[in-house]
Each structure stands twice: as C-alpha cells, then as structure tokens.
Chains A and B, each alone.
Chain A
Amino acid sequence: MSMRSQVLVEHHGVATGKEMTTWQTLRRGVELSPELRKGIWVTVLLAVLSTLGRVLVPFVVQRITDNGLLAEGGPDTQVVAVYIGIALVGVAVTAVSAYFVNIRLFRSSENGLATLRLRAFRHIHDLAMLTQNTERRGSLVSRVTSDVDTISMFVQFGGLMLLINLAQISLATVLMVVYSPLLALVVWLCFVPLFVIIRKFQGIVGRAYTKVRERVGDMLGAISEAVVGAQAIRAYGVEDRTAERIDAAVEAHRKAAIGAQARSVVAFTSGQLVSGLTTAVVLVVGTVLAAGGSLTLGELLAFLFLVNLFTQPVQQATEILNEMQNAVAGWRRVIGIIDTPADVSDPGDAGVTLPRGPITVQFNEVGFAYPGGAPVLHDIDLTIAPRSRVAIVGETGSGKSTLAKLLTRLMDSSSGHVLLDGVDLRTIRFSSLRSRVVLVPQEGFLFDGTLLDNLRFGRPEASEQDVRLTLTELGLDPWVATLPLGLATAVGQRGESLSAGERQLVALARAYLADPDLLVLDEATSAVDPSTEVRIQRALDSLTRGRTSIAIAHRLSTAQAADEVIVVDAGRIVERGHHTELVRLGGVYSKLHESWVAQQQAV
C-alpha cells in the first residue's frame, strides 16, 4: 500500500474514539449533550438534601439508642418520640427531594441522549459516502441505538451518585477524624490499596466494555445479513453457513460480555473485600486502643458505625465506576462517529448558490483512486455543454459510476477539479447542488411506504396532482393503473413488493419529479423491458430538453439517442462524439456497437 493510500484509509475510516481517555470522553459527551448540565446544580442540591436525610436516619437511630433506650434510669419515651419525629421529617425530606432528583435526572438525561442520538444520526448522513461504506450498516445502527442506551444508565444515576458518594466519603472522613484521628488514619491507610486497584481496573474494565460494544456492532452486522440477504441465502441453501457466521458473532459477543462482567466483578468485590477487612482492622486496632484506655467501648462501636458510613459510598462508587466504563465505551463509539470529519462537506453559507438553468459540466484533469486502491480514473478532461444529452458507455468496471459519483459530489476527486457552470463543485452549497443535480444510482432504494411517498421523496411539497402529471409525462400512468392500489400501493421494505423493473421506474420518476437541471442516470433502466425503456427514453428525450442529462447505459439504445457519446475505458475517456461518428471511427465504441448489433440483428 502506498503512503498516499495509507493516509487515505486513515482519513476515510470512521474514528473509533478509542484514543480518548475516560475524562476526555466524559467532557466531550457532556459537551455534546448540554442538557445533561442544565440545572444540574439544583439537582445536586436536592440530591445532597436527600442524602442528608439518609445519613440523618442512622444518626437518629443511634441517638435513640443512646439517649432514649439506654438513658439512665430506664428508657425515655419522650426523647424517643422526639427523635422519631425528627427522623420522620428526615424521611419525608429524603423522599420528596429524591422524587425531584429522579424526575429531573430522567428528564435531563433523556433529553441529552436524544440530542446525542440525533446528532450522531445526522452526522452519519453527512459523512462521505466512502466513509459510510467503511462501516457495516448494522454497526452504524448500533451507534444510534444500543450504544446510546448503554450511556443512559450511567447518566441517569451514576454521575450524580458519584458526586454524592464523594461528598459522603468526605463527610464520613471528617466525622471519623473528630472521633479518633488515629483510627481515621488506619481506615484511610486500609483503603490506599483499593484506590490503586480501582485505578488499574478502570482501564481493564474500560477496554473490556469497549470490546463488548464492538461485538454488538459485529453481531448486528451478521444478523442483518440473514435478514437482508434472505433470498440469496435460501437460493443457495447456505442457511447453515450463515447460521455459523451469526453464531460466531453471537459467541464472540457472549464471551466479551462475560469477560467484561468478570473484570467488573473483580473490581467491585475488591471494594467489598477492603471494606470488610477495614472493619476487622478497625476492631483490632480499636481494641488495642481501648484496652490502652484512649477509647471507650461505646466510642469504638460508634466509630464502627462511621466506618460503615465511609465504606458504603466507596463500594457504591466502585460499582458506579464500572458502570461508567460501560457508558464510556458506548459514548466513545458515538462520539467517535460524531467526531469523524465529513470529508465531503457542505460549504454552507459561505458556499455558492447556483442560479437555476441548464448546467455546464467541466472536468479538469480529474483523477480518482478509492482509498487503498489503484487509480480508477486518470486525467479526465471533459466539458459537457448545457442542454446536451450525453451517454457514457464503457466496459464494466471502467469507472463510469465513479465518474457519476464525482460529478454529483458523492466523493471528491483525488486530483483535479470538477466545475459546474464554471464553479468548483466543492464551493457549491449542498442545498443548491442537491436540488440542481440529481443522480439515479445503479442500486436504487425505495422506502417502506406508499408509492406516492416514494415518488415525492425528492420533493415533498409536490402535490398528488404534480406526481400524476409527472407519471403521465413519463408514460408511466398505465403502469400505475395496473398496481393494486395505484399510488397508494405499499412498495414494501426496500421496495421489495415491486418487481425489479418497477423499482427502477419509481426511482427514475422520483428523480425526475425532483426537477433537477442536471439529471445523471446510472443504468437507471437496466432492468426495465425494452419497449418500456424505449418509451421512457423518448419521454425523457423531450422532457430533458432545456436541461442537461447524462446517462450511463450498457444498452446502446441510449447512446444512439444521445447528442454525444463518451466512451470510458480503463479509467480514461478514449472516444467521444455522436453515435454515428463513433461507429464509423472503428474504435472501442464501434466494437461495443458491433456486439450490440449482433444481439439485435438476429431478428
């Protein structure tokens, strides 16, 4: 692989986000979902309030025990009642503030994640076609579905709980120091190893979860093949092989998930282990201290209670940190796609808006290579006059579709320039470009909806009347009349309820209805029967007067009808001119024509 193509590959691929640290990911994540931050301080305040209530209760219980139950001279019912009253107030405060915390958190996190989803979705469409192709569709879907779902648990509770836990840990530390600085030191010393372990495990757990997310993407890719390729799989009886491929992906996911689970369990239980052992150590050291007279038994037991107040949030925090790594793994993938540059990008407001009217197309020394591949187009110099109807012909794989994609800026050329009306394609606003130039790609795609919806896809404001008019102009109204429900016929997923030729008719009419000034047809009628094709050809002939049209076709009937034929061979334009002249020329085209004629002449 050459240096250049290497760069291209890196340039074109989707960023994985793996290189981001946890902290960077969190920061970028919050940046992308500003709702997560909005009003967070009120939520934090409420959360602190609810935590205070939670902490208050055990304290009160302790007071009740010490001052009420164990009061000198028998239990003091009144003290108990007062304390219980206080505790009930605490419970009420906790409940009410927890209610608001929950609601606020749900609202902000769901809003934030919806924003993130939308942003990622939109960006995926903005990505260059080639970048989109580096990822499986199933994997792209996972980036706006399950990857985002993974984040939700953490942003709903985790982030906030982490803050509260930290607060609780600090509070408990202060209280412990007040009771016994020495024991407090012992507790902290016991926890030092845990902090080291947690730090180390954060990385390990994070990587494990990242792997899980990737496996989910692979799994969806494999499963979607079984769904989208249903016919091919049945035709070749390769159900077993497909099942094996899916099973491999499912198994890889299962292994990764269990691996991640095991690692997070180790991280979590180390927190529990340290907490438990700390209690033991505190008891031992406390006993020594108490035996030495510097501590009473009551103080020791009270201190144990504080230790519990300290270890509980630490344990919870280790759990949340695990959850955070899971979220970060999902977040990385979503951020990764959002931060992948859209190479073929819209110049936006800075761009040029083309006035309406027939378009002149110009290629200046255009060359193109797919990332990692050899050049496919070389030094293309070409001018297509406005209002002309041009046919592009050539062997399969000679670069015709590539040319069409450069012309419609689905990709940018590797060298040279493509100009429309003398303006560099790269400086034209997309809104202008896409409404003026429309490509009917070789692989048409219809949406699961009615025929009418599909026809209107390029111009939603078109009325049913407009649609009918267009169909009449193209001579397709008799065909629509044969459909069970006419324009209301459901075309099915990917248009599969129509025949292949019918799908092409729809794609063609859809593009035509969008009313472009430059219409590029990439084998748009390859599956349509000859007499329909000829009919449409004629309709287009008269309709495209006043616009520029470029048609790629293997059926040379299209070439015969064109003002000019451009012959592409191995990535170069080798001949151009009118059909009759090219036939006379005796070059590549005349050979193609010979085979074509041989096919037809047999009548």
Chain B
Amino acid sequence: MNVPPTSTLREGRAVIARGIKGQPRWFALAVVGSVVYGVMTSLTAAAIGFVVERAVAPAIAAGHVTASQLWFIGGVMAAVVLTTIVGVIGRRIAGGVAMFNLGAMYRRQVTRQYLRLPLSWHHRHPSGQLLSNANADVEATWNIFAPLPMALGVVVMLVFGIVQMVIVDPWLALVGLTVFPMLFLANVAFQRAMSPRVTRAQQLRADVSEVAHESFEAALVVKSLGREDHEAERFRVVTHELRDANIEVGRTRGRFDPAIEAIPTIGTLAVLFVGTLRVSSGQLTAGQVVQVAYLFSILAFPVRALGWVLAELPRAVVGWKRVSAVLDATGSMTFGDRSLPSGAASHLQAERLAYAYEIESETGEPDLNPAVVDVTLDVAPGATVAIVGPTGSGKSTLTNLVMRLVDPDSGAVLVDDVDLREVRRGGVSDVAALVAQQTFMFDDTVRGNITLGAERDDESVWRALDVAQGAGFVGRLPDGLETHVGERGASLSGGQRQRIALARAVIREPQLLILDDATSAVDPSVEQAILARLREASSGTTVLVVAYRMATILLADEVVYMEGGRVVDHGSHDALLGRCLGYERLVTAYAREAAEREAIAAAEEHDEHGRGADAAEEVSR
C-alpha cells in the first residue's frame, strides 16, 4: 500500500515505452487495427440509424421493399462488419506478434546475461529463480501488450464518442465527462492496492519455481533418504503462500472490478435522467438523448480495456524490475584483444595469486573466505606439474584461476607471458582445456558432447575417445556416437561420463591441459591406460594435473603441494617425500594403510590358521 500510484504509472509507462521501442512496427499495426476497430464500433450505431433512415423506414412506409434497398442495407452493414473484423484481426495478431517477439527478445537478452555473468554471480542466484526470471517474469512484463493496443484504440473511441456527444448536446457530454475521470480515479486506486500484492505474488511464483527446481534436481537423494514427505511439505509451504497471495490479488480485484463495471452504467442512467429533464424543458429531442445514451453504452465496454491495462500494469512493472535486475547485473569479465600464441606447448606462470570467495558472515554481512593465497607457479612448456593437497585446499580454485573462469583478487596468470585478462573472449579456451572435477554433460549426443559443436570428423572423435579409453563403451552404445546421453548424461555410468569429458578436452589438442581429479570415477586399470595414452598424445602439451594417486603424480616433472590455499612446498616427488610431512602423509596413506592391514591380517591368520582360505570362490561366468 505504501507504493505511490504515480511511481507505478511512471514505471509502467517506461516499460511500455521500452516495449514499443522494441517492436515499433507490429505495435503500430496493432494500434491501427485497434483504432479501426474503435472507430467502427462507435460507427455501428450510426450505421444502423443510417440504413434505418435511408432504407428500412422508407420501405416500411411504402409497404414494399425493393431489391436495391435490401442490397443497400446488407451492403452497408456488411461493410461495417468486415472493416471491424479487419481491425480486430490486425489488432490481435499484430499485438500478439509484438508481445511474443518482445518475450523472445528479452529471453535472449536475459540468457545472454546468464552466459556472460561470472560464476560468482551464478553462485549467488538460485537456478530456479533464474529460470523464473527468464520465463514467468519476462512473460509478466510483456503480457501488458495484449490489452494495450485495445486500450489505445479505446482512447480514439473515447475522443470520437465524446466529440459526437458534444455535437449532440454539450450538457449531456459534460455528464459523460464527469464519469470518465471517475473511472480513471477508481483505476488508479485499484492499481495502488494491487501493486504490493502483485509484487509479492510474483516473488512467490519464483520461490515456487526455485523449490521445485532444487527438489527435482535432488530427486535421487530425496528418494534414497525417503524424504519425499519432507520435500512435499517444503513445497506446500511456498505453494500455499503463493495461493494466499493470489487470493489476495483476487480479492483486491474482486473489490474494484464490480465498481469499475458499474460506473459507465451509472453514467448512462445519469445521461438518461438529465436528458429527460432537458427534453421536458424542450432543449433536446428524445432522439438525441437516445443517441447519446447509446453512445455511452457502447463506449462503456471498451473503456474497461483501459482498466485492463491499468490492472496489468503492476505486474508488468514487477516483472520488469526482476528482469532488469538480471540485465543490469554487472561484474561480467572484461576481455582484451590479444590472442595466445598457438602451435607449441604453453608456458604457464602464476604470480602471487590470491582469491577469496565472497560469503556471508554470521551477521549476514559480506565476508571473504580466502581459498588461494599467494600462489606462484612456473610450469615450463611441455612440462607436467601435479597439484596435490588435502580436501578443500584450493586446488580446484587454482584451476579455475588458470582457466580464467574467475579473476584473481591480486596477482596474475600469464600464459606465454600474456596476462589472461588481456586475452580476447574465447582466447583462453582456444589453447587450454580443463577437465573439471565435476563432469557436466549437455543434453546432446555423445558426439555433440565431445565436439561441442566444432566441425570434427568421426576419426578424430574416435581417436580422442581412444585416448580417454572410452571407445570401447561408446562402440557398444545403441547408436554409437549419435546416442543421446540424456540430461546431464543420465544414461551413462559415472566413469563413462568422466571419459567423455576427457575426450572433450583431448580432441581440442590443447597446448595447456588442466585435469582436476579427472579420473576419480574410473577404475585403476583404466586410469593407468588413460594416463599412458595421455602421455603419448600430449607430448606438445603443458599439463597441470590435480591428483592424489601416486601413478598420476609420478607422471609429473614437478609436484606442488598445497594446504589451506597456500603452496607449502614444491619440487620433485622424491624431494617432497623426504622433506614435506603433509605431502608424505597424503600420498602414502594407502600404502601405509595396506601395510597395516596386511600386518593385522597376518597376525590373524597366525591366530586362526587360515580360517577363510577356502572362502574364495569363483562364481561361474
């Protein structure tokens, strides 16, 4: 209630102006159609009067009717009807086209922002809300273009009607004129009441979408922990809030609608009353009063169209605010115009990199969580460097910095002596490829997931798959390379997804390959094979590999050991083993564990002399 109506009106005007600017032609066409419709509607009464006077009445008076009279009646009426229809078609179709074009236009703009804005922005905005921005909010913004042309046409009608009334009798016209401002005031009050309610409903709509989206993405976890009821309850809460908000919107509408509808009728009655008095005093003929009353009743319905626009206005404004919050979001990366040299393995340097994630502190204020602190790297062209560190030590954050998925707070990443921030858009991914820790599959074919739209022949796709040890299983898929993997690769096993992700990187023959724990979901023998093939295939490639397993680490020329976001030590594996306790603990954990187990097992065997020796059984193949 605290929103002043003028601001909604002003903001609403701005939204409308923006829409008109976006689709001027279709909009103009719709308004023209609407004007034709408006003029013809107010002419209908006159047309009937005209034919009655010219043909019907004479015919009745004469007691017989000629064919030409009938043609005249039918012709005039048909002409009026057809012109009206043309107006209606023009208005509705052009209005619809304008509306849907605007929707598509802004959906494109909004999603372009999704693609442009940095990852940190995405972290802050729930996917469900973003979906709602691109769908429900865009729709809410431009829905106003359905009644708008009609309403503008009505303005013409209004003027037309009022002029006619004034011509007939200014006094009666005055009665009419007092009714219209009343209508307008009622509408403004209506809007003022609607605005906050609609805002709330639209926010809740997005909340419903958010809960649904998250819950459906979590479907497997929900199922496996049997939490369906809990999720249903969570959804029930937002759904019922939305319901109550919508009922509130409805209640407000319910209050104003009948009043707004009654006003023109009251106007008609007032015209009749005043008219009768003036006829009594001989200033008017009965016919004139009837004509004005008729004009009035005809105008009453379309005038409500203006009401529809005003009723839609708050929703449009709210929708627009939510959409423009996305469109106005800043912080997207800036790019330079340099390209990275190609043709040879890259020289990767990181100079005192620091990066902290934005988080909320206990009091809800923004705070920072440092993930990478003062990291310096120098990876010679063609070298392989392993990054090792305990869980949460900042390895993935470092790979993201090296790929320029995020920019460091301080320090710089240089590839072949070029600061990544000076590289043109797309320049980094041209020479470098990252196989992320979390594989993401597109809802596409196996081929599409590997080539990502680039032109590649079958042979190179298979070669890449071969390196990633994926050729075997892809060959066995029902449609081979053309098999659809489903959303997020649902129809593949975890290791299969990971191998496709590897092939995706390999096929690009990158000069800088970054593997972030990219073999975690494959078994040891396959991993061995992948590493061996990678080694062959990537002789001209600089490799940065995040790994825990000794075999991977041993491929590296140098090991960088991280802890708490800092590089604790770096050097050859052997050197680190000797001098870095944390490193030694980490990489020998399995071996120590195995040794311990063996010792225990040996002791047990000693105790219970071969208790389970024959338990091993070969199950028939």
Which of A114-160 touch B at CB < 8 Å? 114, 117-118, 121-122, 124-126, 129, 132-133, 136-138, 140-142, 144-146, 149, 152, 156
Does B525 sit at the interface, judged by CB under 8 A? yes
| Among A182-190, A200-208, A569-577, the stretch in contact with B | A569-577
Report chain A residues within 8 Å CB of B403.
234-235
Tell me, in angstroms, the Cα distance from A180 to B290 when the chains sit together: 24
Rounded to whole Å, the gap between the CB of A264 and the closest CB of chain B is: 8
Does B239 sit at the interface, judged by CB under 8 A? yes
B617 near A576 with CB under 8 A, answer yes
B523 near A118 with CB under 8 A, answer no
By beta carbon, the residue of chain B nearest A136 is B487
| Among B148-156, B387-395, B411-419, the stretch in contact with A | B387-395
Does A482 sit at the interface, judged by CB under 8 A? yes
Which of B213-264 touch A at CB < 8 Å? 213-228, 230-232, 235-236, 239-240, 242-243, 246-247, 249-251, 253-255, 257-259, 261-262
Q: A103-B254, A291-B59, A370-B491 are in contact. List 12 more A-B contacts (CB 8 A).
A: A80-B276, A261-B92, A395-B495, A396-B493, A408-B224, A457-B225, A458-B227, A510-B225, A529-B589, A555-B590, A591-B525, A603-B587
| Among A169-177, A265-273, A351-359, A464-472, the stretch in contact with B | A265-273
Report chain B residues within 8 Å CB of A279.
48, 77, 81
Does A223 sit at the interface, judged by CB under 8 A? yes
Which of these, A125, A265, A595, contacts B528 with CB under 8 Å? A595
Rounded to whole Å, the gap between the CB of B396 and the closest CB of chain A is: 6
* CB < 8 Å A-B pair total: 573
Tell me, in angstroms, the Cα distance from A120 to B338 when the chains sit together: 52
Rounded to whole Å, the gap between the CB of A59 and the closest CB of chain B is: 12
Q: Mark A220-247, 1 if CB is under 8 A from B, else 0.
A: 1101111111111111111101111011
A74 near B217 with CB under 8 A, answer no
Report chain B residues within 8 Å CB of A3.
none
Known contacts A94-B258, A121-B232, A236-B429; decide if A110 and B520 are in contact (CB<8 Å): no
Q: Mark A14-43, 1 if CB is under 8 A from B, else 0.
A: 000000000000000000000000000000
Does A44 sit at the interface, judged by CB under 8 A? no
Does A386 sit at the interface, judged by CB under 8 A? no
A144 near B212 with CB under 8 A, answer yes
A497 near B616 with CB under 8 A, answer no
Which of B30-77 touch A at CB < 8 Å? 48, 51-52, 55-57, 59-60, 62-65, 69-70, 73-74, 77
Known contacts A81-B273, A122-B232, A531-B390; decide if A145 and B212 are in contact (CB<8 Å): yes
Tell me, in angstroms, the Cα distance from A254 to B97 when the chains sit together: 9
By beta carbon, the residue of chain B nearest A283 is B73
Most chain A CB atoms below 10 A, which of B96, B97, B131, B390: B131
B103 near A254 with CB under 8 A, answer yes
Does A250 sit at the interface, judged by CB under 8 A? yes
Known contacts A235-B436, A528-B391; decide if A500 and B60 are in contact (CB<8 Å): no
Which of A570-603 touch B at CB < 8 Å? 572-578, 580-582, 584-585, 587, 591-592, 595-596, 598-603
Report chain A residues within 8 Å CB of B88.
265, 268-269, 272
B525 near A595 with CB under 8 A, answer yes
What total of chain B residues lie within 8 Å of the partner, measured CB to CB? Answer: 195
Does B588 sit at the interface, judged by CB under 8 A? yes
B269 near A84 with CB under 8 A, answer yes
By beta carbon, the residue of chain B nearest A498 is B392
Known contacts A110-B247, A250-B104, A492-B123; decide if A149 and B136 are in contact (CB<8 Å): yes
Q: Is the interface of A mostly helix, strand, loop or mixed?
A: helix
Does A452 sit at the interface, judged by CB under 8 A? no
Rounded to whole Å, the gap between the CB of B286 and the closest CB of chain A is: 4
Does A534 sit at the interface, judged by CB under 8 A? yes
Tell me, in angstroms, the Cα distance from A587 to B476 when the chains sit together: 24
Most chain A CB atoms below 10 A, which of B93, B400, B520, B549: B520
Known contacts A95-B258, A227-B130, A272-B88; decide if A393 and B523 are in contact (CB<8 Å): yes
Report chain A residues within 8 Å CB of B239.
114, 117-118, 121
Does B580 sit at the interface, judged by CB under 8 A? no
Report chain B residues within 8 Å CB of A224.
127, 131, 213
B108 near A246 with CB under 8 A, answer yes
Tell me, in angstroms, the Cα distance from A533 to B73 when the chains sit together: 93
B618 near A291 with CB under 8 A, answer no
A–B complex contacts, Cβ < 8 Å, 10 sampled: A69-B272, A107-B250, A114-B240, A241-B453, A250-B108, A283-B51, A396-B499, A500-B437, A501-B392, A502-B392
B293 near A410 with CB under 8 A, answer no
By beta carbon, the residue of chain A nearest B391 is A501
Does B341 sit at the interface, judged by CB under 8 A? no
Tell me, in angstroms, the Cα distance from A396 to B231 when the chains sit together: 33
Report chain A residues within 8 Å CB of B135.
142, 145-146, 216, 219-220, 223
Tell me, in angstroms, the Cα distance from A177 to B590 when the chains sit together: 96
By beta carbon, the residue of chain A nearest B121 is A230
Which of these, A91, A395, A496, A577, contacts B123 with CB under 8 Å? A496
Does B4 sit at the interface, judged by CB under 8 A? no
Which of these, B48, B56, B357, contacts A287 with CB under 8 Å? B56
B100 near A257 with CB under 8 A, answer yes
Which of A81-112 touch B at CB < 8 Å? 81, 84, 87-88, 91-92, 94-96, 98-99, 102-103, 105-107, 110-111
B243 near A113 with CB under 8 A, answer yes
A592 near B209 with CB under 8 A, answer no
Does B361 sit at the interface, judged by CB under 8 A? yes
Does A545 sit at the interface, judged by CB under 8 A? no
A280 near B223 with CB under 8 A, answer no
Does B343 sit at the interface, judged by CB under 8 A? no
A133 near B487 with CB under 8 A, answer yes
B440 near A137 with CB under 8 A, answer no
Does B490 sit at the interface, judged by CB under 8 A? yes
Does A439 sit at the interface, judged by CB under 8 A? yes
By beta carbon, the residue of chain B nearest A274 is B81
A69 near B275 with CB under 8 A, answer yes
Which of these, A124, A301, A372, A393, contacts B216 with CB under 8 Å? A124
Rounded to whole Å, the gap between the CB of B506 and the closest CB of chain A is: 13
A560 near B526 with CB under 8 A, answer no
B93 near A262 with CB under 8 A, answer yes
Tell me, in angstroms, the Cα distance from A138 to B73 when the chains sit together: 58
Rounded to whole Å, the gap between the CB of B405 and the closest CB of chain A is: 5
Q: Mark B610-621, 1 if CB is under 8 A from A, else 0.
A: 001101111101
Does B407 sit at the interface, judged by CB under 8 A? no
Report chain B residues within 8 Å CB of A269.
85, 88-89, 92
Does A8 sit at the interface, judged by CB under 8 A? no
The 10 closest A-B pairs by CB, nearest first: A434-B226, A396-B495, A106-B250, A276-B81, A577-B616, A237-B429, A102-B254, A501-B391, A280-B77, A581-B616
Does A193 sit at the interface, judged by CB under 8 A? no
Report chain A residues within 8 Å CB of B297.
58, 61
Tell me, in angstroms, the Cα distance from A393 to B597 when the chains sit together: 19
Report chain A residues within 8 Å CB of B426.
237, 239
| Among A325-333, A416-424, A440-448, the stretch in contact with B | A440-448
Which of these, A276, A532, A599, contacts B80 with CB under 8 Å? A276
B259 near A125 with CB under 8 A, answer no
B56 near A272 with CB under 8 A, answer no
A488 near B496 with CB under 8 A, answer no
B220 near A445 with CB under 8 A, answer yes
Does B554 sit at the interface, judged by CB under 8 A? yes
B208 near A493 with CB under 8 A, answer no
Which of these, A149, A277, A485, contacts B78 with CB under 8 Å? A277
Does A251 sit at the interface, judged by CB under 8 A? yes
Which of B126-171 touch A at CB < 8 Å? 126-128, 130-132, 134-136, 139
Known contacts A230-B114, A273-B81, A526-B521; decide if A251 and B615 are in contact (CB<8 Å): no
Most chain B CB atoms below 10 A, which of A95, A237, A238, A460: A237
A241 near B452 with CB under 8 A, answer yes
Tell me, in angstroms, the Cα distance from A144 to B135 when the chains sit together: 14
Rounded to whole Å, the gap between the CB of B66 and the closest CB of chain A is: 9
B279 near A561 with CB under 8 A, answer no
Tell me, in angstroms, the Cα distance from A234 to B392 when the chains sit together: 22
